[in-house]
DNA sequence: GCAAAAGTGTTGCTCATACACCCATGG
DNA sequence: CCATGGGTGTATGAGCAACACTTTTGC
């Protein structure tokens, strides 16, 4: 089967930057390519958009197929289209990013991927194509988002402590935040509430657990 | 001549939202379509991306070809890709927006366009495809940009008064701003300077003219 | 008892807002 | 002389940053 057009058409792909926090470290999900070009190199999960699916759908599907991960919320990041960004043919890629709690990330390399794993943002492998650039821009975008809303809870389990929430901010922003001021700011945003439970069995005073208020579960720019 | 691929490829277009201020009114540039589908309808200028040009280049080229307008600065807005957004075939469009001073806008319908003209955002024609949605999102983005930098001078001539600058904000934000506070805020941003000249021959006290400091001429997110 | 994180308030500063009057010019 | 926008300063309140000590648990 083949498809013919009167004018040349670029291929369109999606790439997804999945951020998660594991072992108190900010990590990103990559796959090891199983095919040329750049076979064996690490790259962002992604792939071709099917002709009758939406861009967001393609992003979720490719992420699932290649890594086993499910993203409930994706934000479109930017569209990269330099003519020379892929050696095969003209490929325009629509990049997305997601924040996923590590306890909801079940990773299993699939389709087109020899392997799939998380890398710390402090110890990145060499990346295929322009994916290092895409990642840089994604981190920048997340920083922006954090500064004007409670956005970080997407990376946390349903119940989380103030400390855990604060760590998300600290890892993205790359600076330490004052415990008291942080708590005040978050409470003022009025988007989370106490569960009444505490995080027990730790070798220090147990911390209160919080959850997202149900009103604030959805978010979808623009 | 025809082009054949193993898998179906979507077409990729760019669409450009050009904002300008004319007669103290916020306007957007539209073309009247000269071809099916939606012949005769008004639409955002735009068209197919050539196979070997960048997305930004395509946006500038299409804008020039269809309307005669030149944009020195474009920002990528968002990529729209619903499978049913165009009846012809699957078309994914990368939307851009530009702010252009009306004295630098020379409009002349070209290529694929029966007519090209500015419409006030208060009196929009019916628009083809999903262009009304694109426009709405573009206005939202410009509002965001205005609130954290001097961005508005892109819509003004090289020399402009505080009043003119303030009107740009007022027209986008849809509210009146305090003259004194506005001046203070803009001066604090330290991005413009007095030219030493005044806007003469007006039937009131002449206003000082300002220009953008040369350091601040460029801007290019992300 | 000690290590380790949880939890809590106050103060000063900066920034945004609200607000009213005289000035320079053209007609 | 009048209509029109140009230009100026101050006072108040909100929000943010800086800062240290006591509490609760596991080991």
- Tell me, what's the pLDDT at B77? 98
Only one residue has tokens 């330099």, namely A82
| B73 assigned to some structural domain | yes
CB B140 within 8 A of CB B146: no
pLDDT for A167 beyond 80: yes
Q: Is A20 exposed, middle or buried (0-12, 13-18, 19+ CB in 10 A)?
A: buried
Nearest to A10 among B6, B51, B222 (CB): B51
- Are A140 and A164 found together in one domain? no
Encode pLDDT of B52-71 as tens digits. 999 999 999 999 999 999 99
Q: Which of A7, A53, A222 sits opposite B83 (nearest CB)?
A: A53
Q: Span A101-107, mean pLDDT? A: 90
pLDDT of residue A134: 98
CATH code: domain of residue A115: 3.90.79.10
Report the pLDDT value the prediction gives residue A183, as an integer from 0 to 100.
Answer: 95
Q: Specify whether A37 is located in the same domain as A104.
A: yes
Q: What are phi and psi of B155, to 5 degrees?
A: -95, 0
pLDDT score, position A220: 46
Residues A192, A106 share a domain: no
A222: which chain B residues are within 8 Å (Cβ-Cβ)? 78, 137, 140-141
What number of other Cβ atoms are within 10 A of residue A132's Cβ?
14
pLDDT at B107 over 50: yes
How far is it, in rounded angstroms, from Cα B37 to Cα B50?
20
Hey, what are A35's tokens? 């095919």
Q: Which nucleotide is nearest to A201 (CA to C1')?
A: D26
The string of pLDDT tens digits covering residues B153-165 is 889 999 999 999 9
Return the bridge partners of A28, or none. Answer: A19, A119
pLDDT, greater one: A80 or A106: A80
Q: Given A110, A145, A180, which residue is the final one in a domain?
A: A145
> Where does a domain end: A145, A160, A179?
A145
Residues of A with CB under 8 A from a CB of B: 1-12, 48-49, 51-55, 76, 78-79, 81-83, 90, 92, 94, 137, 140-141, 222
Q: Which residues of B touch A (CB under 8 A)?
A: 1-12, 48-49, 51-55, 76, 78-79, 81-83, 90, 92, 94, 137, 140-141, 222
Give the best residue of A35, A53, A76, A83 to mutate against chain B (max B CB count within 10 A): A83
Residue A193 lies in a domain: yes
CA distance A11 to A17: 20
B45 and B96 housed in the same domain: yes
**pLDDT of amino acid B179:** 95
Contacts of A204 (CB under 8 A, 6+ apart): none
Tell me how far apart the alpha carbons of residues B193 and B203 are, in angstroms, rounded to a whole number.
Answer: 24
Residue B219 lies inside a defined structural domain of this protein: no
Protein residue at shortest CA distance from C1' of D20: A180
For the segment A27-45, the average pLDDT, to the nearest whole number, is: 94
Question: Does one domain contain both B131 and B171?
Answer: no
User: Residue B198: inside a domain, yes or no?
Assistant: yes
Sign of the four-CA dihedral B88, B92, B94, B97: positive
- Percent of residues, chain B, with pLDDT higher than 90: 75
Instruction: Using the predicted structure, report yes or no on whether residue A218 has a pLDDT greater than 70.
Output: no
| Per-residue tokens: A29 | 């999900």
Task: For residue B204, tell me if it sits in a domain.
Answer: yes
Among residues B44, B37, B52, which one has the least CA distance to residue B17? B44
Structure confidence by residue, pLDDT tens digits, A181-198 = 999 999 999 999 999 999
B112 and B200 inside one domain: no
Mean pLDDT of B24-33: 94
pLDDT of amino acid A162:
95
The total of other beta-carbon atoms located within 10 Å of residue A120's CB is: 12
Taking the CA of residue B147 and the C1' sugar atom of nucleotide C23, their distance in angstroms comes to: 31
**B93 and B140 co-located in one domain:** yes
Is pLDDT at B78 greater than 50 in this prediction? Answer: yes
Please give the pLDDT value at position B60. 97
Do A39 and A127 fall within a single domain?
Answer: yes
- Mean pLDDT for the stretch of residues A160-180: 94
For residues A102 and A156, state if they share a domain.
no
In a domain, B190, yes or no: yes
Range of the domain at B165: 149-212
| Cα separation, A63 vs A69, whole angstroms | 6
Domain shared by A86 and A193, yes or no: no
B29 CA: distance to closest CA in chain A (Å): 22
Under 8 Å CB-to-CB from A178, ≥6 apart: which residues? Answer: none
Residues A116, A45: contact at Cβ < 8 Å?
yes
Question: Which CATH number do you get for residue A197?
Answer: 1.10.10.10
**Contacts for A215 with CB less than 8 Å, ≥ 6 apart:** none
In percent, how much of chain A has pLDDT > 90? 77
Residue B34 within a domain = yes
SS3 content of chain A, % helix, strand, coil (to 5): 30, 30, 40
Q: What is the mean pLDDT of residues A176-185?
A: 95
pLDDT at A169: 94
Q: Which helix (H) or strand (E) holds A80?
A: strand A75-80
| Structural domains counted in chain A | 2
pLDDT at B201: 87
Distance in Å, alpha carbon of B11 to nearest chain A alpha carbon: 6
Which residues in window 82-121 of A are less than 7 A from strand C by Cβ?
none
Given a cut of 50, is residue A61 above it in pLDDT?
yes
Average pLDDT, chain B: 92
Chain D nucleotides with an atom closer than 7 Å to a protein C-beta = 3-10, 16-20, 23-27
Same domain, B97 and B158: no
Higher-confidence residue: A148 or B92?
B92
Q: What is the distance in angstroms measured between the alpha-carbon CA of A147 and the sugar C1' of D16?
A: 13
A10: confidence class by pLDDT, cuts 50, 70, 90: very high
Does residue A18 lie within any of the structural domains?
A: yes
pTM of the model: 0.93
B29 & B90 share domain: yes
CA distance A85 to chain B (A): 10
Domain endpoint, select from A145, A170, A203? A145
How far A78 CA sits from the closest chain B CA (Å)? 7
DSSP state, residue A77: E
Amino acid B116: pLDDT: 95
According to the model, what pLDDT value does residue B221 have? 44
Which of chain A's residues have a Cβ under 8 Å away from the Cβ of B12? 9-10, 12, 81, 92
Residue B24 CA and nucleotide C26 C1' are separated, in Å, by 21
- Nearest residue to C5 via alpha carbon and C1': A204
């Amino acid at each position: 089967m083949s498809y013919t057009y009167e004018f040349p058409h670029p291929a369109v792909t999606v790439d997804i930057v999945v951020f998660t926090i594991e072992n108190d470290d900010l990590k990103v999900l990559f796959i090891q390519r199983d095919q040329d070009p750049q076979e064996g190199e690490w790259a962002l999960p992604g792939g071709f958009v099917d002709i009758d699916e939406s861009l967001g759908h393609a992003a979720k599907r490719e992420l699932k197929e290649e890594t086993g991960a499910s993203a409930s919320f994706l934000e479109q990041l930017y569209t990269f289209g330099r003519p020379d960004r892929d050696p095969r043919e003209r490929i325009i890629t629509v990049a997305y990013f997601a924040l996923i709690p590590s306890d909801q990330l079940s990773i299993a390399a699939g389709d087109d991927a020899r392997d799939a794993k998380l890398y710390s943002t402090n110890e990145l492998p060499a990346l295929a194509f322009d994916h290092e650039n895409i990642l840089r821009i994604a981190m920048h975008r997340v920083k922006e988002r954090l500064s004007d809303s409670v956005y970080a809870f997407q990376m946390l389990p349903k119940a989380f402590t103030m400390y855990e929430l604060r760590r998300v901010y600290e890892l993205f922003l790359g600076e330490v935040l004052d415990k008291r001021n942080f708590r005040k700011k978050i409470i003022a945003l009025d988007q989370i509430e106490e569960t009444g439970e505490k995080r027990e069995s730790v070798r220090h005073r147990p911390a209160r657990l919080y959850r997202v208020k149900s009103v604030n579960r959805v978010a979808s720019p623009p």
